């Protein structure tokens, strides 16, 4: 059991704090938002994560988890300090480390000798060195204070499972003894632990996300080709996935990837490549192809509406960047709805989890149910793969819409059944 501080109680920090407390460590999680801290100490979880409320309650009740305001309050007793602060995408694509720098300067004087600062947030290759430099500048001795990279591989919606049933734990540190100490925090997580140098650990994170994004953009391109040659991309993905070198995961075509990670991390890796003058045209293709896929969905909608969306009542299902999350950050759905509105569509959108004020698009009306969003529309557009869309009653749906026309950008609906019932159905790749 160790004393751990987690700086930043967002998607990554909250899951990291709750899971480390669950593993038996004494955890103090700090955030700058006093209201958020107060709600967290009452067990109120502001994000949509399976299992997280239960773990936070367990931690609070056991006394192994508490939340405080301000990083320096959390540090004095901590042997390990996890940095889980935002690293947003800068204008040039580089990750913005200003939050990291501010926190490191704030905590430097409070760090106890022998403690270890651990970069959990996704940070560019070289960030461990950056944190070491800042600590030195603030007078902390890097002989006494360890620094390690320990990137997160958490998917929103399943972050608790992804932490406790990790496929691997990666620790990047120059000091083997420090690497062992960090690895021991994960006792109880049955996963291979990859101990390597900091740059390799940081690159593992970016290369992993960039590869997953590549799989998605690749399958979106295959889907578009399937449409041109009359193949069914779902059948193609099935036939591909049996090859263990390919696997079945991340072969689902759609409107393009989104979220707070893939777009940011692919841009950051592209920036790293350019700065290192080691260009990466394949990755640029993935990035460009993803934006083109969003625009391709807009073109599909325009074509289905007869060539123009001006004045067309359009029902939209889904605003979050994927199902089982409430997050709309960098959501393809939000981008596509914005483009449809620009072309004059009259849109009513329903999402089971996106907060009512989450999407600020002039002219967008929110509906309280899928059928309400479909009522009287000339075109229905599915943008997120929520299960409730999959199981909607087709008779009720046919009664609700004005015209039986649907663009299913997630291939979640029964194309054959709908077409048999007279729907004009368009998916992606089938």
With a CB cutoff of 8 Å and minimum separation 6, the contacts of 103 are 7, 8, 71, 83, 85
Positive or negative, the CA dihedral 372, 373, 378, 382 is negative
Positive or negative, the CA dihedral 198, 147, 6, 268 is negative
Identity of the residue, 132 or 411, whose beta carbon is nearer to ligand UDX in the bound complex: 411
Span interacting with ligand UDX, options 95-103, 173-181, 189-197, 252-260, rule CB under 6 A: 252-260
User: Site mask, ligand UDX, residues 79-118, x = CB under 6 A?
Assistant: ----------------------------------------
φ and ψ of 200, to 5 deg = -70, -40
Token pair 């991309």 is at which residue? Answer: 233
Span interacting with ligand UDX, options 25-33, 59-67, 77-85, 254-262, rule CB under 6 A: 254-262
Length of the chain, in residues: 430
Burial class (CB in 10 A: 0-12, 13-18, 19+), 143: exposed
Q: How far is the CB of 35 from ligand UDX (least distance, A)?
A: 25
Identity of the residue, 28 or 316, whose beta carbon is nearer to ligand UDX in the bound complex: 316
Candidate residues 112, 155, 161, 404; the one interacting with ligand UDX per rule CB under 6 A: 155
Positive or negative, the CA dihedral 365, 368, 374, 375 is negative
DSSP letter at 89 equals B
Q: How far is the CB of 321 from ligand UDX (least distance, A)?
A: 4
Candidate residues 26, 48, 296, 322; the one interacting with ligand UDX per rule CB under 6 A: 322
* CA-based end-to-end distance of the chain: 53
Catalytic residue among 19, 84, 173, 261: 261
Q: What's the rounded Cα separation, in Å, for the pair 54 and 292?
A: 41
257 binds ligand UDX (CB under 6 A): yes
212 binds ligand UDX (CB under 6 A): yes
261 assigned to active site = yes
Span interacting with ligand UDX, options 84-92, 165-173, 185-193, 255-263, rule CB under 6 A: 255-263
Q: How far is the CB of 266 from ligand UDX (least distance, A)?
A: 10
Identity of the residue, 283 or 309, whose beta carbon is nearer to ligand UDX in the bound complex: 283
DSSP letter at 19 equals H
Tokens of 297: 């969905």
CA nearest to 160, candidates 23, 67, 258: 23
The site for ligand UDX, by CB under 6 A, has a size of 19
Q: How far is the CB of 236 from ligand UDX (least distance, A)?
A: 13
Q: How far is the CB of 326 from ligand UDX (least distance, A)?
A: 12
φ and ψ of 37, to 5 deg = -60, -40
Q: How far is the CB of 263 from ligand UDX (least distance, A)?
A: 9
User: Site mask, ligand UDX, residues 279-318, x = CB under 6 A?
Assistant: ----------------------------------------
DSSP per-residue codes, 266-282: HHHHHHHHHHTT---HH
Q: How far is the CB of 124 from ligand UDX (least distance, A)?
A: 15
Strand 26-31 and strand 313-317: the pairing is unpaired
Q: Kindly list the distances between the CA atom of residue 253 and the CA atoms of 216, 246, 360, 405, in Å, as whole numbers in the listed order.
A: 7, 15, 27, 20
Which chain residues interact with ligand UDX by CB under 6 A? 152-156, 209, 212, 216, 250-252, 254, 257-259, 261-262, 321-322
Which positions are annotated as active-site residues? Answer: 261
């Amino acid at each position: 059991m160790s004393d751990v501080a987690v700086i930043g109680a967002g998607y990554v920090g909250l899951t990291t704090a709750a899971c480390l407390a669950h593993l038996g460590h004494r955890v103090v999680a700090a955030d700058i938002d006093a209201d958020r801290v107060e709600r967290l100490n009452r067990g109120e979880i502001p994000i949509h994560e399976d299992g997280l409320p239960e773990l936070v309650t367990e931690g609070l009740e056991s006394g192994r988890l508490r939340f405080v305001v301000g990083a320096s309050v959390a540090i004095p007793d901590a042997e390990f300090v996890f940095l889980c602060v935002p690293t947003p995408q800068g204008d040039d694509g580089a990750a913005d480390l200003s939050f990291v720098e501010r926190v490191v300067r704030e905590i430097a004087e409070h760090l106890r000798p022998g403690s270890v600062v651990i970069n959990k947030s996704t940070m560019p290759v070289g960030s461990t060195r950056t944190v070491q430099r800042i600590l030195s500048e603030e007078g902390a001795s890097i002989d006494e204070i360890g620094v390690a990279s320990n990137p997160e591989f958490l998917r929103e919606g399943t972050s608790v499972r992804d932490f406790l049933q990790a496929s691997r734990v990666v620790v990047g540190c120059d000091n083997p003894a420090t690497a062992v100490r960090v690895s021991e925090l994960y006792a109880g997580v049955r996963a291979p632990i990859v101990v390597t140098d900091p740059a390799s650990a940081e690159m593992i994170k970016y290369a992993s996300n960039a590869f997953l994004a590549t799989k998605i953009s690749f399958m979106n391109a295959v889907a578009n080709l399937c449409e041109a040659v009359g193949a069914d991309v779902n059948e193609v993905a099935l036939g591909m996935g049996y090859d263990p070198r390919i696997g079945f995961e991340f072969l689902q075509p759609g409107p393009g990837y989104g979220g707070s990670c893939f777009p940011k991390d692919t841009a950051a890796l592209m920036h790293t490549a350019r700065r290192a003058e080691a260009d990466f045209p394949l990755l640029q293709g993935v990035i460009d192809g993803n934006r083109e896929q969003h625009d391709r969905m807009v073109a599909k909608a325009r074509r289905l509406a007869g060539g123009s969306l001006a004045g067309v009542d359009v029902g939209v299902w889904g605003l979050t960047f994927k199902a089982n999350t409430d997050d709309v950050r960098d959501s393809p759905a939000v981008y596509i709805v914005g483009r449809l509105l620009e072309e004059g569509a009259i849109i009513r959108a329903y999402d089971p989890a996106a907060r009512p004020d989450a999407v600020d698009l002039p002219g967008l009306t929110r509906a309280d149910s899928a059928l309400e969003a479909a009522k009287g529309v000339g075109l229905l557009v599915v943008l997120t793969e929520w299960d409730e869309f999959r199981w909607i009653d087709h008779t009720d749906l046919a009664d609700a819409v004005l015209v039986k026309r649907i663009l299913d950008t997630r291939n979640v609906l029964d194309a054959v059944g709908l077409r048999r019932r007279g729907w004009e159905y368009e998916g992606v790749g089938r």
